[in-house]
Amino acid sequence: MQKQQSLMNRAEIRQIIRQKRNALSLEQQSNAAKLISDKIIELVTPKDVVALYLANDGEISPNQTIRHLQHNEVTTLLPVMHSFHKGYLNFQSYLCTKNTDNTIMVKNNFAILEPKLNALQTYPLSQIHYIFMPLVAFDANGNRLGMGGGFYDRTLSKLAELESRPKLIGLAHDCQQVDELPKQAWDIPLDLIITPNKIIVPDQ
């Protein structure tokens, strides 16, 4: 993306990048998902607790990764909209086998499937090793632009207070990178960004 686009506001960037992302063919999406899955698999160990997501609106899909991790008995979680802390997320265990959900799934307010809330199956942030996050746009400094709801930023706002904290990793298509994102005070930077063609370690 040209440098002039770094001067755009967040809404304009969000619109442009979503259009680029949604213009990708099914074959391009599938190939991209396979490439990021290979990179994630090299990173995660069987002892890790890993939070991912179910793709929506052209987001790069981690479904292959989820199936592989569960085959290797890695604990996998999905975000669930908090039932009484509005705007926050819980991370809850998720199990699927052969493309079938073994976890009871429901649609949230955005019509996105998520596990039916079960407090006994949620994990605190201090027990999660990696949170793989969707995003609309990112830059080389680890800045992330989401869909605008602020769910991840609010949920992760107290990370600095934890003795043990998860590593935050953004998953994206290469076309989602911009030169520079306008930052807000509440933005939580990423520790790593994985795209089909590269792994970016931000300069913080």
The chain-wide mean pLDDT, for the chain, equals 88
Q: How many CB atoms lie within 10 A of CB 47?
A: 9
> Strand 75-81's sheet: what is its strand order?
89-93, 75-81, 49-51, 130-133, 167-171, 192-194, 199-200
Helices 26-43 and 63-71 pack at an angle, to 10 degrees, of 40
Q: In the prediction, which pLDDT does 1 show?
A: 46
Nearest to 51 by CA among 124, 132, 116, 157: 132
Residue 192 pLDDT class (50, 70, 90 cuts): very high
Tell me which of 54-58, 94-98, 132-136 is least confident: 94-98
Going by the annotation, the residues of the binding site for substrate are 54, 59
pLDDT at 204: 55
Residues pairing with 78 in the sheet:
92
- Written as one letter, the residue type at 146 is G
Residue 5, pLDDT score: 47
Query: What confidence category does residue 190 fall into, taking pLDDT thresholds of 50, 70 and 90?
Result: very high
**pLDDT confidence of residue 99:** 58
| CA dihedral sign of residues 204, 54, 67, 96 | positive
- What is the secondary structure of 151-204 as a DSSP string? HHHHHTTTGGG-SS-PEEEEE--GGGB-S-PPP-TTPPPPSEEE-SS-EE----
Provide mean pLDDT across the span 166-186: 92
Residue 46: what pLDDT?
Answer: 92
What residues contact residue 185 under an 8 Å CB cut-off, 6+ apart? none
Q: List pLDDT tens digits, range 61-78.
A: 999 999 999 999 999 999
What does the pLDDT read at residue 54?
A: 92
Give residue-wise pLDDT tens across range 99-142. Answer: 556 788 888 888 788 888 888 899 999 999 999 999 999 999 99
Annotated binding residues for ATP: 10-14, 144-152
Q: How many C-beta neighbours within 10 Å does residue 63 have?
A: 15
The predicted structure's pLDDT at residue 134: 95
As given in the structure block, the two tokens for residue 85 are 């802390």
The pTM assigned to this predicted structure is: 0.89
28-200 in CATH: which number? 3.40.50.10420
Give binding residues as ranges. 10-14, 54, 59, 144-152
Spatial separation of the C-alpha atoms in residues 53 and 56, rounded to whole Å: 9
Res 31 pLDDT > 50: yes
What is the Cα–Cα distance from 28 to 176, expressed in whole angstroms? Answer: 14
Residue 19, pLDDT score:
95
Can you give the residue ranges of every domain in the chain? 28-200
Confidence of residue 14 (pLDDT cuts 50, 70, 90): very high
